[in-house]
Structure formats: C-alpha cells, structure tokens
Amino acid sequence: MPWLLPSLAIAGGFVALLWGADRFVLGAAVTARNLGVSPLLVGLTVVGFGTSAPELLVSAIAAYRGATGLSIGNALGSNITNIALVIGATAVVAPLPVSREILGRQLPVLIVVMLVATALLSDGWLDVTDGALLLGGLVAALSWVVWRGLRERQAPELETSPGTLSTARALSWLTLGLVTLLASSETLVWGARTIAAAAGVSEGVIGLTVVAFGTSLPELAATLVAARRSEHDIAVGNVVGSNLFNLLGVLGLPGVIAPGPCEENLWRFDAPAMIGVTGLLWILARLFPPRGRLSRGQGALLVACYALYIGALALGAH
C-alpha cells in the first residue's frame, strides 16, 4: 500500500493545520490588542507573511535544485488559490467585510505588483535582476505597510476577552501556532506530491495545483479562523499580505538563487488568471452590493473561478 503513509500524512496534517491556525490567529490578535497595533497591520505582516513561509521554503528548495519552473508555478498558483479559493470559501461560510483601506490601497497596489511581475516574466526568463527588483519591492512594500499601520494604531476587538492572556503568552501561542502551521503544511505537501507523482502528474502541474494548494492551506486555515473570530481585517489582510509576499519574495528569491527559464504558459495563461481573479475580487467588493462586503454568492463565484482554472489545467492548458 504505497499510498497509505502519504494519505495518513495528509489527514494528520489537516488536523494539526486547523489547530495551529487557531492558536496563531489568537496570538496575533491578542498581541495586536495588547500593543495597540492595528489588526490590519498584523494581518498584512505577521499573519500574511508568516503563513507564506511554506511557499518561500518550497520555492527556495526547488530553485536550489534547478526546478525554477516549479518555484514560479508555486508563487502564481498560490496567489490564484489564495484569492479565488481562500477568500471565496471564507465568504461562502460567512459574508466577509472588506475594509476601505484594503479596497482603496492594498488591493490596487497588489494588482500593480502583479502586472510588474508578469512583465518581468514575459521575456521567458527569471534572472538575477528580476529577482533583485522583486526583493527590493518586498522591502519597500513591507516598510510602507508598517508605516501605514503605525499611523493608524488601534486596538482590535476580539470575540473573547484577552484580559487573562499576557503578551508573552500570546507571543508563545503565536510562535507555536506558526511552527505547527509550517510543519503541518509541509507534511500535507509531501503527502500530496507523493500521491501526485505516483499518479504520473507532471512537475509543472504539481507546482500550480498540488504544491500551490498545499502551501496555501495555512492561509485558508488562518483566514477561516480569523473570520470565525470576527477578525475580518486579519482575515482579508492575511491574503493580501501573503500574495504580496508570494510575488515579491517567493518569486524573487529563485531569481537570485538560481536564475532559470519561465515557461511561456506561466506568463501567458497563469499570470493573467492571477490578475483576473484579483481584479474580480476588487470589483465584487467595491462596485457590487453589498459594497465593502463579499456575500456568500460572490464567494461562490470566486470558488467557481478556481474550479474553472483547475479544470482548464486538467484539460491541457499547459
């Protein structure tokens, strides 16, 4: 039974992932309240970038081993998964408010970064210059987000009172939750990749689907738990921050570590799909009622877009 161990890894990973996400979001939210930091800032930085660590690790290892295409596919596929599946599924579970800050600043900046990243890949090569530009953009973006967040310091409202939870204990939960998220996501990815490889699925499709989905599971779990706790800024900010990190850090690192070719389909098909679902999210939340909130129907539309994308890959889009 060659698939028994990978299947057990997937099942156990799911359980650990959900527990880790709960502890991680609780620790982040309580720390924000105790320190008087905006929950949006926490979502965009600590939660958003922290849950992107699996993508960074997978891309770094893949690039080091010469699989630059897998790294690029992981970054683009994760962004599509985060917007269409993570945000969509969360809105299906419960209508999801989207703040003016995210609609007016964060999402437009994310779309611009996506356009720039696509332009850099359109020559069919991810080189050192491309990687350095993207990593430089990461430093600039992180500095800007922190500056904006510190200008709007406010204490987040929590579903449960954090009065008995000290900052030190909250940080401990945050750290333990993050470690659990990373370990469980890697376990899930290993199990899924093993099964996919045994089934004869190509490396490129694995990067865009199995690896992208697996490394996006921390975002999915953290976003669902944050929404359940009514930490909506953390829920949406987590995805926006994660996608910025994916484009600037996860995509930039392979260019510096091991420059390599970019498959034509990645920038001709997958990058436009990524930009399209992000633009759709902005349009739904900004222009359609209820404005500033994703309804269950709109969330279902995003999930349907993800299903169509996976279906296109299955039918030979690559």
DSSP 290-308: STTEE-HHHHHHHHHHHHH
The whole-number average pLDDT for the span 257-285 is 92
User: What's the pLDDT at 33?
Assistant: 73
Name the more confident of 120 and 38: 120
pLDDT at 300: 96
CA distances, 108 to each of 25, 173, 210, 280 (Å): 25, 33, 28, 12
Tell me if 83 sits within 8 A of 278, measured CB to CB: yes
What's the fold here for domain 39-153+192-314?
A: A middle domain of Talin 1 (1.20.1420)
For the segment 193-197, the average pLDDT, to the nearest whole number, is: 74
Question: Distance between the two ends of the chain, CA-based, in angstroms?
Answer: 31
- Name the DSSP class of 251: T
CA-to-CA distance for 281 and 294, rounded, in angstroms?
A: 9
The arithmetic mean of pLDDT across residues 225-230, rounded, is: 76
- Give percent of the chain above pLDDT 90: 28
Q: Are 189 and 215 in contact (CB under 8 A)?
A: yes
| pLDDT tens profile 287-304 | 887 788 899 999 999 999
Which residue in 80, 28, 74 sits closest to 229, CA to CA?
A: 28
Give the sign of the dihedral formed by CA 8, CA 26, CA 229, CA 243.
Answer: negative
Per-range mean pLDDT, top range of 42-56, 61-75, 121-135, 279-293: 121-135
- Annotated domain spans of the chain: 39-153+192-314
Q: Which own/partner pairs from 211-214 qualify as long-range (CB within 8 Å, at least 24 positions apart)? A: 211/58, 211/70, 211/73, 211/74, 211/77, 212/73, 212/74, 212/76, 212/77, 212/78, 212/80, 212/81, 213/77, 213/81, 213/85, 214/54, 214/185, 214/188, 214/189
Contact between 206 and 196 under an 8 Å Cβ cutoff? The reply is yes
Question: What is the CA 36 to chain-centroid distance, rounded?
Answer: 25
Q: How far apart are CA 92 and CA 79, in angstroms?
A: 19
- Decide if 22 contacts 180 (C-beta within 8 A): no
Instruction: Give the global pTM.
Output: 0.77
Beta-sheet strands, E only, within the chain = 96-97, 125-126, 260-261, 293-294
Q: In whole angstroms, what is the distance from residue 298 CA to residue 3 CA?
A: 37
Q: What angle do CA 232, 236, 240 make, to 5 degrees?
A: 155
Which is nearest to 247 in space by CA: 105, 77, 47?
77
Query: pLDDT at residue 1 above 60?
Result: no
